[in-house]
């Protein structure tokens, strides 16, 4: 009889233990977020292969952070009693990771493709810009700083071409932007300066018309020098009969202002002396009446206005002479032809022959297009 309570107790304990074991074995545990996290992980991996870390970095980081959060929450839940675990927040984070990584992939592919097209277009456009700079301004006397800008712009363009070939489109795009700034600023500098310079074009045109009219009226020779195209045009009886390549002062854009500025003057001049033999070191020379009345008046105004120092000298000894054919603008302001060319002109012209020097015989639109 005394053994009954003990027996009942043992049976109860065993029953309870069996119940607990049964419960542990058969009661469903919360399902972990393994599958959704694997999908998210694969999606992040695909996004990475599509370079989303470079082309959609914000979305990619959000995807990674969401994945990390899912893992962290999962870990935290795993520390709890197995039946008290709640994996829903981890699954939510995993879904977010999946959503962000999918978006990152799509955006990356789109942006990459856009940047590739943009970089290619920019490179083409910059190569065209460089060609325009080379074609129009090859002999333009750029300041050193602008030349350096062009060189730097060219280098960046080459860098961009390398990055484009390496499929690093963001870098290529950024380099083309930098290159564009430099090359455009050089072109703008030249365009602006030329536009300013060509404001004198109506005056040049007037001089040209007058010079040709005089040649026609007198039946004599006349010379017109076009600085922009480096041409010296010989007229007879109002008709152009010959065209020569000319070389100028190295600082050829703009009118001559002072002695030593290496600029070729602009104006209506006359030949006042013919020099040959030991009288010139340039084979033969035609001395012009620079400074003429207008040059002298302008110089005086500039000195009085303070734009030139009081000590400035107006200069002189502007000639059309030989020793040219170097292909460079090398003179101190004179116009150089080859010896054989100056021989011909020297024979044809006389003291008093008009020599008109202009910036250009064409207007700015004709020059730039």
Partner 1 sequence: MKNKVFMGFATIMMVVILAGCGKVPQAQIDATNAAIEAAKAAEVNVYLPDEFAKVQDAMNAVLADVETQKSKLFKKFGDAKLKLDEVTNMANQAAAAVAAKKEEVKKEAQTLLTDIKTVIEENTKLVPRLPRGKEGAQVIEQIKADLSGVESAVAEAQGLFDKGAFLDAVNKVKSAKAKADGLNSEIKEALTKARIRF
By CB under 8 A, name the binding residues for partner 1.
Answer: 10, 14, 17-18, 21, 24-25, 29-30, 32, 34, 37-38, 41, 45, 48-49, 71, 74-75, 77-78, 82, 85, 87, 138-142, 144, 147-148, 150-152, 154-155, 158-159, 161-163, 166, 245, 247, 250, 326-330
CB of 195 to partner 1, least distance (A): 20
- SS3 call for 212: helix
Decide if 66 contacts 97 (C-beta within 8 A). yes
CB of 327 to partner 1, least distance (A): 4
Pick the closer one to partner 1 by CB: 34 or 125: 34
Pick the closer one to partner 1 by CB: 161 or 295: 161
Pick the closer one to partner 1 by CB: 260 or 327: 327
Pick the closer one to partner 1 by CB: 29 or 310: 29
CB of 70 to partner 1, least distance (A): 9
Beta strand 231-236 with 335-336 is unpaired
First-to-last alpha carbon distance for the chain, in angstroms, is 123
Pick the closer one to partner 1 by CB: 202 or 327: 327
CB of 34 to partner 1, least distance (A): 4
Pick the closer one to partner 1 by CB: 159 or 191: 159
- For residue 275, the Cα-to-chain-centroid distance in whole angstroms is 48
Closest CA to 299 of 258, 260, 262, 261: 258
Q: CA 200, CA 253: separation in Å to the nearest integer?
A: 12
Cβ contacts of 19 within 8 Å, gap of 6 or more: none
CB of 92 to partner 1, least distance (A): 16
| Integer angstrom CA distances of residue 290 from 220, 294, 318 | 21, 10, 6
Pick the closer one to partner 1 by CB: 173 or 247: 247
Q: Show the tokens assigned to 338.
A: 């080859």
Q: CA 212, CA 205: separation in Å to the nearest integer?
A: 11
Q: Show the tokens assigned to 214.
A: 């005089």
Cβ contacts of 270 within 8 Å, gap of 6 or more: 288, 289, 351, 352, 353, 354, 355
CB of 284 to partner 1, least distance (A): 21
CB of 307 to partner 1, least distance (A): 27
């Amino acid at each position: 009889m005394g053994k009954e309570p003990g027996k009942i107790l043992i049976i109860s304990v065993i029953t309870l233990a069996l119940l607990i074991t049964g419960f542990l074995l058969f009661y469903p545990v919360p399902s972990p977020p393994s599958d959704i996290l694997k999908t998210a992980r694969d999606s992040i991996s695909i996004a990475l292969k599509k370079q989303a870390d470079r082309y959609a970095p914000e979305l990619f980081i959000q995807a990674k952070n969401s994945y990390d959060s899912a893992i962290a929450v999962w870990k935290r839940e795993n520390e709890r009693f197995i039946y008290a675990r709640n994996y829903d927040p981890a699954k939510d984070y995993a879904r977010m990771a999946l959503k962000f990584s999918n978006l990152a992939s799509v955006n990356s592919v789109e942006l990459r493709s856009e940047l590739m097209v943009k970089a290619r277009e920019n490179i083409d456009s910059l190569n065209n810009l460089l060609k325009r700079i080379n074609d129009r301004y090859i002999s333009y006397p750029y300041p050193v700083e602008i030349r350096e800008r062009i060189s730097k712009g060219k280098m960046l363009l080459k860098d961009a071409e390398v990055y484009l070939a390496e499929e690093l489109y963001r870098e290529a795009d950024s380099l083309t932007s930098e290159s564009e700034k430099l090359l455009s600023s050089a072109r703008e500098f030249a365009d602006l300066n030329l536009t300013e310079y060509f404001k004198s074009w109506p005056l040049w045109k007037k001089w040209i018309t007058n010079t040709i009219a005089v040649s026609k009226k007198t039946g004599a020779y006349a010379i017109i020098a076009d600085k922009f195209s480096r041409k010296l045009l010989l007229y007879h009886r109002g008709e152009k009969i010959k065209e020569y390549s000319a070389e100028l002062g190295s600082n050829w854009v703009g009118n001559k202002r002072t002695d030593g500025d290496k600029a070729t003057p602009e104006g209506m001049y006359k030949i006042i002396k013919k020099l040959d033999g030991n009288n010139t070191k340039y084979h033969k020379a035609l001395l012009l009446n620079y400074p003429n009345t207008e040059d002298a008046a302008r110089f005086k105004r500039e000195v009085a206005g303070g734009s030139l120092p009081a000590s400035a000298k107006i200069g002189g000894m502007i000639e059309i002479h030989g020793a040219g054919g170097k292909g460079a603008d090398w003179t101190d302001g004179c116009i150089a032809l080859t010896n054989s060319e100056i021989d011909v002109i020297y024979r044809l012209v006389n003291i008093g022959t008009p020599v008109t020097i202009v910036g250009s015989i064409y207007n700015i639109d004709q020059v730039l297009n």
